[in-house]
């Protein structure tokens, strides 16, 4: 995954704070309030990459396993397999470094 220059995105564009709107000058003036329009809609387009990721995502999880682990943690009997975690971390790091070396 390549991360581009975030300074070039519209999400990081500077925002002018300016002067906040002032309240009515006299206590008898009330600002006009309009009702929201019922015709507003939002259109969302999902990219091909996002669609692929959604298709690969698991639809459910093993709730019984979650309950067993939650109970073991509550009881103080949950055992962490540090060797398995370390092995998986090393495998993931090797995969990541391998992918970084294969620039398209």
Let me know if residue 57 belongs to a domain: no
Which parts of 1-104 are beta strand (E)?
none
Let me know if residue 87 belongs to a domain: yes
**Which is it for the CA torsion 6, 10, 15, 20, positive or negative?**
negative
Range of the domain at 96: 80-104
Q: Are 6 and 12 in contact (CB under 8 A)?
A: yes
Task: Identify which of 49, 90, 5 has the alpha carbon closest to the alpha carbon of residue 98.
Answer: 90
Q: How many CA atoms lie within 13 A of 28 on its CB side?
A: 0
Let me know if residue 96 belongs to a domain: yes
Q: Domain total for the chain? A: 1
Let me know if residue 70 belongs to a domain: no
Model confidence, pTM: 0.33
Let me know if residue 88 belongs to a domain: yes
- Per-residue model confidence as pLDDT tens for the chain (104 residues): 455 555 555 555 555 555 655 655 555 666 676 666 667 788 889 899 988 888 888 777 788 999 999 999 999 999 999 999 999 999 999 999 987 777 65
d(CA 72, CA 65): 10
């Amino acid at each position: 995954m390549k991360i581009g220059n975030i300074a070039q995105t519209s999400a990081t564009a500077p925002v002018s704070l300016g002067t906040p709107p002032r309240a009515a000058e006299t206590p008898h003036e009330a600002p006009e309030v309009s009702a929201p329009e019922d015709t507003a809609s939002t259109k969302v387009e999902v990219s091909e990459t996002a669609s692929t990721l959604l298709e690969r995502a698991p639809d459910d999880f093993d709730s019984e396993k979650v309950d067993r682990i939650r109970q073991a943690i509550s009881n103080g009997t949950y055992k962490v397999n540090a060797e398995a975690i370390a092995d998986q971390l090393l495998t993931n790091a090797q995969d990541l470094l391998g992918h970084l070396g294969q620039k398209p």
